[in-house]
Chain A
Amino acid sequence: GAVVSQHPSWVICKSGTSVKIECRSLDFQATTMFWYRQFPKQSLMLMATSNEGSKATYEQGVEKDKFLINHASLTLSTLTVTSAHPEDSSFYICSATEADSLGYTQYFGPGTRLTVL
């Protein structure tokens, strides 16, 4: 089956630093990758959609200059949280989409826990 990995699985950083999270599709080429954020006891909220080689599309209310997304290849997307602050502490989950005959199926990574001190 399709496997998506994320690295790191958890990270702790100081306020003001930048953190990069990687999302990789291991055994398929992802036409589109998505980044979600999940706060404690809440559901997943879509942050942005990225297609390989083009700029990401951000959801309303998500700062594109703070959450930099790069999708340089069909198997790798990165999310950089710039100048992180404690309120950015959250669980970040990526997914990768593979087009099939019936539409689209999203495969999810295991998530990255970010804690900003």
Chain B
Amino acid sequence: KQEVTQIPAALSVPEGENLVLNCSFTDSAIYNLQWFRQDPGKGLTSLLLIQSSQREQTSGRLNASLDKSSGRSTLYIAASQPGDSATYLCAVASGSRLTFGEGTQLTVNP
């Protein structure tokens, strides 16, 4: 059974800092890994999707890496802004099934 863990559970940083969110998974037989953002009381916004054959994906200030053999992914956020405050969820796809981590609650202070 796939298990996904995210560290840290919560993170508070001053505006402008670069930061890294971590995600680990137990079964390396995955199709892809996806990072989502969730604002309070809202649905999911897909940020980045990395296919199992890829090592990283970039979108603006976001960069996600994937090391399938070690079961790890990181989400790097550059020059953080207060608008980045949200919960970030990592999800691993095994076939058509997604397994979510518990999320990292990020607060960026002005």
Binding site for B on A (CB under 8 A): 31-32, 34, 42-46, 49, 91, 93, 95, 97, 102-106, 108-111, 113
Within 8 A of A (CB), among B55-110: 89, 93, 95-103
| Contact B44–A43 (Cβ < 8 Å) | no
Given contacts A43-B100, A44-B89, A49-B97, contact A102 B31 (CB under 8 A): yes
User: Across the two chains, which residue of chain B brings its CB closest to A104?
Assistant: B96
9 smallest A-B Cβ distances: which pairs?
A: A103-B31, A110-B43, A104-B96, A111-B43, A108-B44, A43-B100, A44-B100, A43-B102, A97-B96
- For the residues of A in contact with B, the DSSP-based class is strand
CB neighbours (8 Å) of A34 from chain B are 98
Q: Which single member of A43, A44, A46, A105 contacts B49 (CB below 8 Å)?
A: A105
CB neighbours (8 Å) of B42 from chain A are 110-111
| Contact B102–A42 (Cβ < 8 Å) | yes
Interface 0/1 of B34-65, CB less than 8 Å to A: 00100001111010010100000000000000
User: Across the two chains, which residue of chain A brings its CB closest to B54?
Assistant: A102
| Contact B93–A106 (Cβ < 8 Å) | yes
| Contact B51–A106 (Cβ < 8 Å) | no
State the CA gap A45–B99 with chains docked (Å): 8
| Contact A93–B101 (Cβ < 8 Å) | no
User: Across the two chains, which residue of chain B brings its CB closest to A42?
Assistant: B102
Task: Say whether B32 faces chain A, with CB atoms less than 8 Å apart.
Answer: yes
| Contact B43–A102 (Cβ < 8 Å) | no
User: Across the two chains, which residue of chain B brings its CB closest to A45?
Assistant: B100
